[in-house]
Structure 1
Amino acid sequence: MSTQTLAAGDGGPRPIPVWKRPAWRWLAGLGVALAAWGVLYSQLVPASEWLVSRLPVERTSHLGEALAFFFYDTPKVLLLLALVVFAMGVVRSYFSPEKTRALIAGRREGLGNVMAAGLGIVTPFCSCSAVPLFIGFVSAGVPLGVTFSFLIAAPMVNEVALGLLFALVGWKVALAYLVFGLAVAVVAGWAIGRLKLEGWLQDWVKDIHGGGGTFVPDDAPTAVDRIRLGIEAVRDIVGRVWIWIIAGIAAGALIHGYVPAELMARIMGADAWWSVPAAVVIGIPMYTNAAGVIPIVEALLGKGAALGTTLAFMMSVIALSLPEMIILRKVLTLRLIAVFVGVVGTGILAVGFLFNLLFH
C-alpha cells in the first residue's frame, strides 16, 4: 500500500491510502458495475408497478398514482446522479476546471449557451433528472450561465415533447415551441451568466467549482486513478444531496397524484391577461416530465384552454417545478434560485403571451 495526495479543500493536502490492486480488476469491476446499473435502470418500471401491486391500494387511485411515481422516480434519479457524477469525476482527470472554462471562454459570446441548450434537446429528462447533470457540469467548472441553459432546455425542449406536440397540434406549433423554448434556455442562461452569480452557489459547490477537494495523483493519472476519482466524486456529491432528491420527488409524487385538472382547465380557458401568469403560478408546484405533461396539455386544449396559456403552463411544470427547486436548494442559495425563477419565468410569460397573440 502506498499514499497519494488529496488537494487542499478543508485543511490542506493530506495523504490517502492506495491499495495496489491489478488494473484489470478495477476495469473488470467497473464493467460489472455498469452492467448492473443498466439492468437496474431497465427494471425500474416493472419494479415500481410490482411494489404498488403489493400494497393495499388501488393502482388507478390518487394514492396509487403517487406511489408508482415515487417508486419509479426515486431510484431513477439516484441512478442517474451516480452515473453522471462518476463520469464527470473521470472527465475531470483529463480536463481541469480551469481548462474547461478557458475552452468555453474562447468561443464567441453565447455559443456555450447555444451548445448547452442544444445538448438539452437530446436528453429527455424531467427537471429533477436534469439536476444531476447540472451538478456534474458545475463540478467540471463549466460556466454557471451555460449550465443553466442546459438545466432549462433538458426537460423543456426534447424529442419527446416535440414529437407529441407534432402529433397533437401540428408541425407549426411544434416548431414554434422548439424555437421559443430554445430561446428561453439560451437567453435566460446567458443573462444569468452575465450577472456573475457564482458567489451565490452553496459553499461546498463553490469548492468543487473552483477545483477544491480533488484527488491529485503524484504522477500522470492512470486508468485506476481515474476510476477512483469517479468513485470519490460519487461518495462526496451523492452523499450530500440524496436526502434532498428524495424529499423533492416525494413532494412531486403527491402533487402528481392529487392535483385536479378540471380547476386548471377553467382558469386557463379564461380569455384574460392574467390567465398566462396564473398558469405559470399553477404549474410551478407541479412535477412531471414532458411525456407526462403533454397528455394534460391535450386535455386542457380540448376543454378550451388558450394555446399560449397552456404552453406557458407546460413550460413552468417541466422547467420550474417545486421539487426541482427543493433539490436545487442544496446546490444554490435562495438568492440564486430566485434569480433563476425570475429570469426563466419572464421568458415563459413572454412565450405564453406571444402564442396567445399569434394563435388567438
Structure 2
Amino acid sequence: MIQRFADWLVYDIFGLDASTALGEAINFFFYDTIKILILLFFISVIMGIINAYFPIERLRNYLTSRKLYGLQYFFAALFGAITPFCSCSSIPLFIGFVKGGIPLGVTFAYLITSPLVNEVAVAMFIGTFGLRITSIYVISGIMLGMVGGFILGKMKLEPYLSDWVKQIQQNSTSDSGTWEKEHTPFFRRLPIIMQEAWGIVKGVLLYILIGIGIGAFMHGYVPEGFFEQYMSKDNWFAVPLSVVLAVPMYANAAGIVPVIEVFVAKGIPIGTALAFMMAVVGLSLPEATLLKKVMTWRLIGIFFGLITLFIIVLGYLYNIVL
C-alpha cells in the first residue's frame, strides 16, 4: 500500500518518469520515509508498553549480576535474527534497550544481528542459494553479533552515548518506581506511551530524512555495472573494496538478496557478494545518521570500524569455504 501511494504521488501527481534516475530516487525517498516513520512510531509504542509492564529492572539485574557465560549475547543476537527489521528500523528497539538499562554490549549484539538476518531474507536465500549457504550465512551473522557485542561491551563505551539517550535513561530511572506504584490501567497509560513514542520519532526525524535522502540518491544515480567492475574475482582487494562501496547504499536484507543473486550470476565470488550484502544492510550511511541521535561520532566510528573489519574477514572466509 505504501509503495502504491509512493508510485501515485511521484509518478501521477508529480509527473516524474519511473524510468529516470530522478524518478526512482524520489520514489525511493517517499516510500522509505513513510515506511520507516510508521515502523519507528509503532515499534516505539511497543517498546513503551514493554518498558511500562515488563520488569526491565529484573532483566537488567539478571544480565548484570549473573555469570551467563556469554548466553546474554547469544539471546540478544537470536532476538535480532527473528525480528524482521532493517538497520534503521532496529534503532527504536536499541533505544528501548538502552533506556531500560540493558548492558550496551548486549544491546549491540541485537543491533548488529537484526538487519543481517531475518526470516524473509532466509527464505529468499534458501530459494536462491540453497540450504548450505543459507545456514552458513545465518550462523555467521549470529556469531558476528555475539562476538561484536561482546567486544564492544568490554570496551566500556557508555560515556559515548549521546546526551539525549543519557537524559532518557535518567528520566526512565526516576519514573520507574512511580509507574509500578500507581498500577495505572493500560488505556490510561497508552496515550502517554504514544506521546513518548511520537517524541522519539520527532527526535530522529531530521536524521531519518538525511539518511534516506542519501540512500535515495545512491539508489537512483549509481551507474549500472559500477559495482561489478570492481568486485570481480581477479581483484584480491575486492572484499574490502566491496564493503567500502556498500556503505553508502541502503536496503534491507530481503531487498538486496536479488542483487546478490545477479552479482553471483555475473561471476562475482559468493564471499565478496555476501560481504557486500552485509555491509549494505548493516553499515549504511543512513544508519549512521540515525545512530547520531543516540551515539557520539566516536562511538559510531568504533562500531562501524569493528563491524567493517569483521565483515571483511567473513568475506575472505566465505570465499575459502564456499
Whole-Å Cα distance in 2 between the matches of residues 134 and 60 of structure 1?
37
Judged with a 3 Å threshold, the aligned counterparts in structure 2 of structure 1 residues 99 and 261 are, in CA distance, closer, same or farther, namely: farther
Aligned length: 317
Match of 1:180 in 2: 140
Q: Is the 8 A contact 2:10 2:27 kept in 1?
A: yes
Shift of 1:318: 0.3
State which of 68, 74, 78 in structure 2 corresponds to 1:114: 74
Whole-Å Cα distance in 2 between the matches of residues 233 and 135 of structure 1?
12
Judged with a 3 Å threshold, the aligned counterparts in structure 2 of structure 1 residues 228 and 107 are, in CA distance, closer, same or farther, namely: farther
Shift of 1:174: 0.9
The answer on 1:164 being equivalent to 2:124 is yes
Shift of 1:224: 4.1
Of stretches 346-355 and 105-114 in structure 1, the one that deviates more from structure 2 is 105-114
Match of 2:7 in 1: 49
Which secondary structure state, in structure 2, belongs to the residue aligned with residue 269 of structure 1? coil
Which secondary structure state, in structure 2, belongs to the residue aligned with residue 93 of structure 1? helix
What does the per-residue CA deviation read over 1:333-357, in whole Å, with 9 as the maximum and x for residues that have no partner?
0111011111211211111010111
Whole-Å Cα distance in 2 between the matches of residues 278 and 213 of structure 1?
47
Which secondary structure state, in structure 2, belongs to the residue aligned with residue 208 of structure 1? helix
The answer on 1:208 being equivalent to 2:171 is no
Mapping of residues 221-236 of structure 1, within 5 Å: 221-236=184-199
2:255 maps to a residue whose letter is G
Judged with a 3 Å threshold, the aligned counterparts in structure 2 of structure 1 residues 123 and 135 are, in CA distance, closer, same or farther, namely: same
Q: Is the 8 A contact 1:85 1:234 kept in 2?
A: yes
Q: Is the 8 A contact 2:164 2:293 kept in 1?
A: no
Whole-Å Cα distance in 1 between the matches of residues 152 and 99 of structure 2?
18
Q: RMSD of the TM alignment (CA)? A: 1.9
Shift of 1:199: 1.1
Match of 1:253 in 2: 216
Q: Is the 8 A contact 1:89 1:226 kept in 2?
A: no
What does the per-residue CA deviation read over 1:236-279, in whole Å, with 9 as the maximum and x for residues that have no partner?
32221111111111111111121124121121114333111101
Shift of 1:209: 2.7
Whole-Å Cα distance in 1 between the matches of residues 136 and 78 of structure 2?
16
Match of 2:239 in 1: 276
State which of 276, 289, 299 in structure 2 corresponds to 1:336: 299
Whole-Å Cα distance in 2 between the matches of residues 135 and 296 of structure 1?
31
Match of 1:309 in 2: 272
State which of 255, 267, 275 in structure 1 corresponds to 2:230: 267
Q: Is the 8 A contact 2:87 2:287 kept in 1?
A: yes
Q: Is the 8 A contact 1:96 1:140 kept in 2?
A: no
Shift of 1:198: 1.1
Q: Is the 8 A contact 2:57 2:100 kept in 1?
A: no
Judged with a 3 Å threshold, the aligned counterparts in structure 2 of structure 1 residues 123 and 97 are, in CA distance, closer, same or farther, namely: closer
Whole-Å Cα distance in 1 between the matches of residues 90 and 20 of structure 2?
28
Shift of 1:130: 1.6
2:106 maps to a residue whose letter is V
State which of 47, 50, 60 in structure 2 corresponds to 1:88: 47
Shift of 1:136: 2.2
Scaled by the length of structure 1, the TM-score of the pair is 0.82
Match of 1:149 in 2: 109
Whole-Å Cα distance in 2 between the matches of residues 124 and 223 of structure 1?
27
Which secondary structure state, in structure 2, belongs to the residue aligned with residue 129 of structure 1? coil
State which of 326, 351, 356 in structure 1 corresponds to 2:314: 351
Q: Is the 8 A contact 1:166 1:174 kept in 2?
A: yes
Mapping of residues 51-90 of structure 1, within 5 Å: 51-54=9-12, 55-90=14-49
Judged with a 3 Å threshold, the aligned counterparts in structure 2 of structure 1 residues 50 and 107 are, in CA distance, closer, same or farther, namely: farther
Of stretches 160-169 and 187-196 in structure 1, the one that deviates more from structure 2 is 160-169
Unaligned runs of 5+ in 1: 1-42
Match of 1:125 in 2: 85
Whole-Å Cα distance in 1 between the matches of residues 36 and 208 of structure 2?
8
Q: Is the 8 A contact 1:156 1:318 kept in 2?
A: yes
Shift of 1:148: 1.4
The structure with the largest alpha-carbon Rg is 1
Whole-Å Cα distance in 2 between the matches of residues 282 and 130 of structure 1?
23
Whole-Å Cα distance in 2 between the matches of residues 205 and 109 of structure 1?
28
Whole-Å Cα distance in 2 between the matches of residues 50 and 214 of structure 1?
45
Which secondary structure state, in structure 1, belongs to the residue aligned with residue 234 of structure 2? coil
2:321 maps to a residue whose letter is L
Of stretches 321-330 and 165-174 in structure 1, the one that deviates more from structure 2 is 165-174
Whole-Å Cα distance in 1 between the matches of residues 99 and 317 of structure 2?
37
Judged with a 3 Å threshold, the aligned counterparts in structure 2 of structure 1 residues 235 and 166 are, in CA distance, closer, same or farther, namely: closer
